[in-house]
Structures are given as C-alpha cells and as structure tokens.
Structure 1
Amino acid sequence: MPMKFREGKIDEPAATKTRLGLTIYGVLKYSEQNLRDDLQLHICECDDDLAIQKLLIESMKHESADIQTQPCDLKYENDKNRLAKYVECTGDHFTTKLLWRSRNISLPDNYEVAKRRLECFEKKLNQDSGFKENVIADIHGMKERQYIRKLNECEVYMDYKRKWYLPIFSVRNPNKPKKTRLIGICADICEMFHRVSADEEDQHAQRFLWRDCDDSRAPDVYVLKVMSFETSCSPSIAQYVRVKNAEESLQEFPRASKSIIERDYVDDMLDSADSPQEAIQLARNVKEVHKRACREVKIPRCYFGSFKNDDCKVELHVFVEASESASAAVAYFSILNDLGIQVALVSSKTKVAPLRAISIPRMELTAAVPGLRLVNAIVKGHDFAIHNTHFYTDSKTILTSLRSDPRKYKQFVMFRVAEIQENSDISKWHFVTTKQNAADAETKWKNSNEFAPTNPWFTGPDFLRLPHEKWPKRGQPIEIFSDNGTNLVSAENELRKAYAELDFYTLQAKLTTAECKWTFIPPASPHMGGAWERLIRSVKNVMYHIVTPDTKLTDEKLHNLLLEVESIVNGRPLTYLSLDAADQEALTPNHFFLGSSYGSKPPSKFC
C-alpha cells in the first residue's frame, strides 16, 4: 500500500513511498543519439550528511543487548582456495585480486555521479581552508607512497569490464582537527590494507576523481593501487596475508610467527614476555617478519619489570561504573612477590549511554556485564596464570541483585544477572566508594587534562597495594551511633573489656576494635536519633494496634508478631507513590530483602 505520494513539476517524475522504499516513475524522452540501458539516481545531502546521521541515531536509540559473538573462520573450503589462488607474493609485498561474487560482473558507468559528488565535496572544502589543505596534503602523500596513480588519457577511455568510480568524501575527528580520513581511498591509521596491492585489472574498479579543488578544469582520474578501506573483502584478504606471511616464517622465527598468528587483532599485536630482553628480541623478530610483507607492527608493552609467574601471585582487579553519560570498566594486574605488590593497567572499555534514557541502576548493570566479558578477554589473551579475580562496584543495588534469584526480575535485569552469576564467583564482587572506584573517571570526565599520564587512573587505586585485610568494605564500622539506654552503655563497657582480653583479629571479626568509635546521644532526647528513632516509632505504632492489655502472647506468637511488624515497616514506600493503579508499585525495603513489596512470589513449577 502506498504510504505517501509526491508529484514533481512539469516534465518532472513522480514518486510513491512504500514500505519497501521509493518508486520513481515518469515519461522519458529518448533520442537516437542518447539511448541508455540503465538509469542512475543521485541524491546528495552534503551539508549535514542527514542520511548517515539518521542511521547513527537509530542505531544508538536502543540499548545494546550485549550479545556475545564467536569468531568465525572462512565458512567454505572453496573460499580458502580462492584466497590461495588470488593472493601471491610479488617481491617484497603481496598482490591480490578482489573477491568478486562472480568474475563476470559488469558495472555501469558512474562517472557523472562521481563528478557531481566531487563538486559537492569541493564546495564543502572551500568553506574550510584548513580542512581543504589537510585533504590535499593527504592526496599528495598517497601519491608519494605510490598508493595511487594518475591515469593517462588512453587509460581513462580504455574499455575495462569492471570500471567504477569511488565517491570521495572525508571525515575528521573534532579532537584531532589536523587528522583526516578519506573514505573510499584510504585505510586505517596503520595503513594495514594499503600494505596489500590490488591486481592491475581490479584497480580500475577503484577509480576516483580529483583536481586539487581547481574547478576551472576537468577532474583527473586516479586509481587506488592497493586495497581500499570500503571494499568488503579487504579485511578477509588482509588477515589472510598476515597469517600466510607468518606461516612462511614459522621455521625461522617460531615465537614471533606464533605471536603474529595468535596475538594479533586486526592490525594491533598484544603479547607478553618474561623479561625485557625477551620482549626486545620478540619485537625485533616480529618487525622482521612483517617487513617481509611490507607491513608494520606495534611494540608490545611491559606490565612489570622482570618477574617469573612461578614465584609470584598474579591477581586481576576489575572496576565497573556508570553514569547518565556512559558506562565503563577498567582492569588492573597486581603481582605479589618478594619485592612487594605492583599494580599495572591492563585494559579498559567505555560505552556511551543510549539516547533513550534508562535508570542509573540499569546503567550500572550494563557496566557490570562488559566488565565480566573484559575479564574473559584478558584471561584468553595472556599465557601466564591469573590466580585470583576481583570485581568492584560502588552500587549496592547491583551487589544485592547479584546475590538474589534472577528469575524474580524482569528480562532486562534477569538475563544480565544470570550471565554474571554463571560466569563469575559472586563472593568476588566487592563494594567500594565512588572515590575508590577507578572506573569513575571514565564516566564523569570534566576537562581534557583529566587523563594526563600522572592521573591515578593509570596506576590504579592505592588500596590495591595493601594486604587484603586492609582493603575497604571488610566489615569494620568506623563509628556506631545509639541512644543512651543503660543496656547499650553496659554493652559498650563490656565490649571494651573484651577488647583487653581478646586478640586483635578476633575483635576485628566481632566488628569492635580500638579504631571503632561509639557515640551516644544525650539521655531523654530521642529526636536526636534521627532515622532509627523514626523507625522505632513506626514499629511501636503497629504493635499498639495489635497488642492490647488483654493479649496473651507465647514466645512463638511474639516472634511471629515481630516478623509481621517487620514486614509492614519494610513495606513502606521509598519512592513516589502513584495514585494510578496502572503504574508500577513504589520501591520498598522489602524489594531488596524479599524481591517484592510483601515477599510474594509467583508459584513455582512442580514436576
């Protein structure tokens, strides 16, 4: 069914919008000199790239389901055979043919479309002189590195079966105004795709137009001599070349070749060594292997100095945090050996908040799940043994959810809580204050200098360098407040006497030490008790309506009565209480203790 109809002016086409897209139709005027077998429609939105912006907004509206994906190899054996047939080593670099679905594909002539796109791009560049200079410099740099070449007039008009002009445009990072990326004719920063040359015939499927923004002349035609960033087969070919080149050097450089094959992710390598000397030698060998394929590699960094995994204890510490702006997780290694405790940053992951706002507790949960998966990635990416793993959050709501039955929550919370419970030891999840949460800096940034090298975020919280018994949330209160009842005063005196008789560790387990301060409010002044006196009043009011002078209570009845009073008091609303019956019920203390306002649960399934 048509959803919208739009009619043009005289001699202009009309368009009908359907759920499958737009249908454009009208009268075509043919002449014997101008017959075409195909038509092309070009819609240009150069000012704001509205189509790309709309797609981006739509993709960010919904919170990611955080679905874990498994790496997949080439699906069919003939794909491997095609790569082995098309990729060949020519001198000091690899050359490949593009992986066409069919070698019989014939492409239409899109020269006019590419020319109009170039004109739009030139208008954009002429509005920003600095941007224009950067783009022109990038094109000239690609000429000097022989990534592109200009076609002569004979080559331009020569008949090629697969001839296609890439629509050229550019993007830039506002944080790096001098760094531009040409989409369609440029690759990533490390130029991984540009290390693989394209077959001469397929180069003409990677044509583009350029004239240094000089609109007084016709544009020149260039071809991209190497793999392009936008070609869908480029990642597969680049990874195949990486592995193939490493396998050819496996006998001469076994350690370096294994590192390239198993420790590379796209164009970056991350590996470890037991000593600085071994790391330096590994870096040299890896560079030599990649040099044979005309490729570059990053030098592995060292977490610590010289240490052996068999004479130290390695622990992994992961902090998770969330705010209205983003969720984040950051991981640190700590090693304990004869030299003491050393801490080093391992990895971090940050994710912006979805456009459709969700509650902070849910944001905290979306940070906990990537934190767990970050641990799995770190464990798989290192050869040495990790003896223990700890998780930290400043959300008591998350800790309570992780220690409860996930089936009592709705799907959003249920799935994430269940994944954390299945893949981690819940006793290893700890509470820390916001100031002690290292991931807090990733979600509440304030200025550009916050992540300077001197920032504690790079070194981890100070308590990680202390023994476990001195870590925060160990169960020891700093100060206890109570009224001035004789029973509490006597209890305080008894505990002080017990301190003189018991050893330090036993008293610490009893939650009363010399560092614990006990503060009494003045006698006969319950108003200074604040929150707890208000709760005592609530308990008394309930009991006054149940217990009368004629009531006879046994110990069992009194116990049941106090439990009932406790449930009533803990059923008080903590949030706004709506008068609309269709709204959700208000949050109560019982939701944290029992999972619902009065502890009721759906009936279980019986076998």
Structure 2
Amino acid sequence: MLSTIASVFDPLGFLTPFTLKGKLLLPLQSLCHDKVGWAEPLTSNQMTDWISWKESANDLISFKVPRCYLTPEFTNSYRAELHTFSDASTIAYSVCSYLCLLDNTTYKVAVSLIMGKSRVAPKRAVTIPRLELQAATLAVKVADFIKIELDYQNLTCYFGTDSRTVLGYINNEAKKFHVFVCNRVERIRDSTNPTDWRYVCTEENPADLASHREEIQNIPSSWLNRPSFRNQPDFRPTPQSTIYTLNNEDPEIRKVFIHTTTTRILENRLVDNLEKWSSWIKITKIVSNIVILITACQKTKLTHSSPQGKLIFNMIVKLVQQHYFANELLLLKGKARLPKLMTLSSLDPFLDKCGVIRVGGCLRDSLSC
C-alpha cells in the first residue's frame, strides 16, 4: 500500500485531492494505532475502498495540466502576483498557490496552479482553529518556496483563508497566546504582513477541494485556475476594512492574572503604639531596645548602659511632635513665624539643634539639646 501511494509522482501537488484520498484510505493511521501487523490482511470494507481507489488511478492518463503560464495574446508588459489559499477539515489541511498574470496593455488575465500540498490531520484530537492555523503556516512556507523558484521581479503575494479566527490571530497586537499558536503566528508574521491576508468564503476557497478526498474524475477543471477573481480586470483582492477581533473566551488566549496588593500606610505607627502604654519608663525601654536593634544591624556598639537617655528622649518627642504638630514643624524648618491661629504661636516656639520644638522666650537660652 505504501509503495503504491509513493509511486504517484506528483511533486507539485496537482493531484492533491486524489492523493489525499489515497492517504486517508490507506488507512495507515488506524492500522498503526491498532498495532496491526504488516502481514495481516485488511478488513473487507478497507479492501473495497482500496481497490476502488487503485482502479480510479487509471484515469490519471486523461488528467492534463497546461504548463505555459502565459497565453499567446500576452505582451511583454505584465505584472505577476501569487495567491495562496489554505483550508482545513477534521481529516486534513491543505494549501494551493496560483500564479496570476495581468497584461498591462490588453488587461488579459492568466491564472495557473503552481503548487498544491496537503497533510493528513494528526490522529490525536486537534481543534479546527489549530488545523486552520497549521494550514496558514504551510501556505506561508509554500509561498516562500515558490518566490525563490520563480524568476519574477517584484512578485506580490496574497493569502486567503476561510477562518476568521486565524485572521484574528494574525492581526492580533495585544493578546498573548499559548505556545502552539504563538510560534505559528510568529512564523507567519516573519514572512507576511496582516494586510496580505483576506477572508475568502468556503465556496470560493480552492483549498477547500484539496482538504477533502476526491476521485480523479471528480476533480473539476477549475482546480487548475480556480480563483474567482481571475476574469476581473483588476484581480487583486480588495483591501478589507474589517477588523478581525478575537473572543476573550478563546482557549488559545493565555490568561493573564494580575495580583494587586493594597497597603495601608499609617503615619507614625510608632506613635500609635506608644499610646498603648502610660508609663514613660516603659516607653523609653521599648524605644531603647529598638535603637539597639537598629544599631546592631548597622554593626555599631550600643548598650543600655550607654549614655543614650537624652537620645531616646529626643527621639520619642520628635515622633510625637511630627504626629501632632506636622504643619508647625514645616513652618519652623523654613524659619517662618507661626500664624496666630496655631496653638503653639503664643509660646514663641523654635527648633533646637536636634530638631525638637521648644518653647521660646526666657527658656530659649536655658534649654539645650
């Protein structure tokens, strides 16, 4: 069975609808999946389908392909465009490329099938959008190959698909996809622009024929020059203003979870804690322990026996003053006089060299830090 299928010499894929049927009838996938031995006979149904396909291969003799891309009416002035279509079904996905030539003088159009290619769908379950994306990726690879092989200057490439989901993937600029879709979209964007792609309904998509099994006698002649715009004076696809958006529930869109943390800032948290104790001695001990801990982290030596009583005193007073007299501190730091509306204005307050608010007047010179 394998040798018979391989004996059909079709490197350019002109017989893609026919050879695809042979690949599907083989049925290699099911045989391998069921671990059927090489010498075991086929079932009656499988044998009937296989014999029918082999007999239809006799009609290949009458299948003819015109190899000249240009007709005698063409002048030396013409432009060339490559139109590649892709399609997928549950059993296979395929592409086909057509070379479209337009005479700049007579406006005659010549359309020729350049290459067709199909792949059998994987045995494991794959969604139709993924198969359609696989077909679009294959279309880009085929177009890249044809551009290298064809000796045409300024060959313009266009692509068509009947999957709006694939067009949404290609046109996407914001959402992130899972690895499968992300890698294939990146491959497509490397060789094409989103503006090169257009939507083609299934009835007008020639690749739809190549993704379904067909007898050789059932392959229409339009397969060789299929695009519906082939007889129009200007056969380039009209740029579409439709924006293909993706559904947020699309399983291929990678969900992004944002974790927000709300932090409540309490000014002078230490002052709030000081209100829990009514003993000044206890407060000084607590603050002293905090200072010792801080200085230990800074690798400085400080013990309870150190002359730090005044330091602790000033620290506690400054914290309390920053909490209750924040506006007064700002004015005093700027060396401004306090307005009479402020409570401390009548006490003629000032800042000592330690930054502590002290009462002015006669006590200005008697108190030091």
- Normalised by the length of structure 1, the TM-score is 0.30
- Larger RCO, structure (CA 8 Å, separation 6 or more): 2
Structure with the larger strand share: 1
Larger Rg: 2
Q: What TM-score, normalized to structure 2?
A: 0.48
